[in-house]
Structure 1
Amino acid sequence: MGGSGHGAGCGINEIIVFVLALVAGTGCSLTSKVLLDMESVGMDGEMKKFEKPLFQTLGMFVGMCAALFLHAGVVMFKIPFPGYVHKTSRNGYSAVGDVDDDEEEEQKPVPIWMYFLLLIPSLFDLAATALCMMGLMEVEVSIYQMLRGSAIIFVAILKHFALGDKLRGFMWVGVWWNVVSIILVGATVILSATPDDGEGGKQKDPLRGVLLILAGAFVQSLQYAFEEKVMSMEVSAPPLLLIGMEGFWGTVVCAFVLYPVCYNLPGADVGGVMENPYDTWAMMENSKDLQVMFLWYFLSIFFYNALAVLVTFMLNSVWHAILDNFRPITVWGTDLFIFYFVTKSFGEEWTKWSFVQLAGLFVLLYGTAVYNAPHAGSIKLDGGVLSCFCKFDYSDMEDEDEEKQVLVPIDDAAAAPYQSPYQSPFMTPNTRAKRDKERRAAEKQGKQFTKVSRGGSFA
Structure 2
Amino acid sequence: RWADNFSAVGCGRTEEHGFQHPFLQAVGMFLGEFSCLGVFYLLVWRDRRRPEPSMAPSQPFNPLLFLPPALCDMTGTSIMYVALNMTSASSFQMLRGSVIIFTGLLSVAFLGRRLQLSQWLGILVTIVGLVVVGLADLHSSHDQRHKLSEVITGDLLIIMAQVIVAIQMVLEEKFVYKHDVHPLRAVGTEGL
Q: 1:110: Cα distance to partner?
A: 4.0
Q: Give the equivalent residue in structure 2 for 1:68.
A: 37
Q: Give the equivalent residue in structure 1 for 2:139.
A: 191
Pair 1:132–1:174, CA change in 2 (3 A): same
TM-score, normalized by length of structure 2? 0.84
Structure 2 Cα separation of the partners of residues 44 and 118 of structure 1 = 46
Deviations 1:234-271, CA, capped at 9 Å, x for gaps: x33333322222212xxxxxxxxxxxxxxxxxxxxxxx
**Would the aligned equivalents of 1:67 and 1:244 in 2 still touch at CA under 8 Å?**
yes
Deviations 1:7-31, CA, capped at 9 Å, x for gaps: xxxxxxxxxxxxxxxxxxxxxxxxx
Pair 1:221-2:190 in alignment = no
Pair 1:116-2:61 in alignment = no
Pair 1:86–1:206, CA change in 2 (3 A): farther
Q: Give the equivalent residue in structure 1 for 2:8.
A: 40
Two-structure CA RMSD over aligned residues (Å): 2.6
Structure 2 Cα separation of the partners of residues 172 and 112 of structure 1 = 35
Pair 1:112–1:166, CA change in 2 (3 A): closer
Query: In structure 2, what residue type is equivalent to 1:216?
Result: A
**Would the aligned equivalents of 2:33 and 2:187 in 1 still touch at CA under 8 Å?**
yes
Pair 1:210-2:162 in alignment = no
Structure 2 Cα separation of the partners of residues 125 and 165 of structure 1 = 23
Within 5 A, what are the aligned runs for 1:15-34? 33-34=1-2
Pair 1:72–1:207, CA change in 2 (3 A): same
Q: Give the equivalent residue in structure 1 for 2:116.
A: 168
Structure 2 Cα separation of the partners of residues 64 and 43 of structure 1 = 35
Deviations 1:372-405, CA, capped at 9 Å, x for gaps: xxxxxxxxxxxxxxxxxxxxxxxxxxxxxxxxxx
Greater relative contact order structure (CA < 8 Å, 6+ sep): 2
Pair 1:241–1:160, CA change in 2 (3 A): closer
Write 1 or 2 for the structure with the bigger share of helix.
Answer: 2
Structure 2 Cα separation of the partners of residues 176 and 216 of structure 1 = 20
Deviations 1:330-388, CA, capped at 9 Å, x for gaps: xxxxxxxxxxxxxxxxxxxxxxxxxxxxxxxxxxxxxxxxxxxxxxxxxxxxxxxxxxx
Pair 1:162–1:63, CA change in 2 (3 A): closer
Pair 1:212–1:75, CA change in 2 (3 A): same
Structure 2 Cα separation of the partners of residues 118 and 39 of structure 1 = 36
Deviations 1:122-151, CA, capped at 9 Å, x for gaps: 111111111111111122222211111111
Q: Give the equivalent residue in structure 2 for 1:356.
A: none
**Would the aligned equivalents of 1:86 and 1:93 in 2 still touch at CA under 8 Å?**
no
Q: 1:209: Cα distance to partner?
A: 1.1
TM-score, normalized by length of structure 1? 0.38
Within 5 A, what are the aligned runs for 1:269-288? none
Of residues 102, 105, 110, the one that matches 1:157 is 105
Secondary structure at 1:71 match in 2: helix
Q: Give the equivalent residue in structure 2 for 1:141.
A: 89
Determine which structure has more spread, i.e. the larger CA radius of gyration. 1
% identity of equivalent residues:
28
Q: Which runs of 5+ in 2 are unaligned?
A: none
Of residues 180, 183, 189, the one that matches 1:236 is 180
Q: Which runs of 5+ in 1 are unaligned?
A: 1-32, 80-84, 96-106, 249-459
Q: 1:42: Cα distance to partner?
A: 4.6
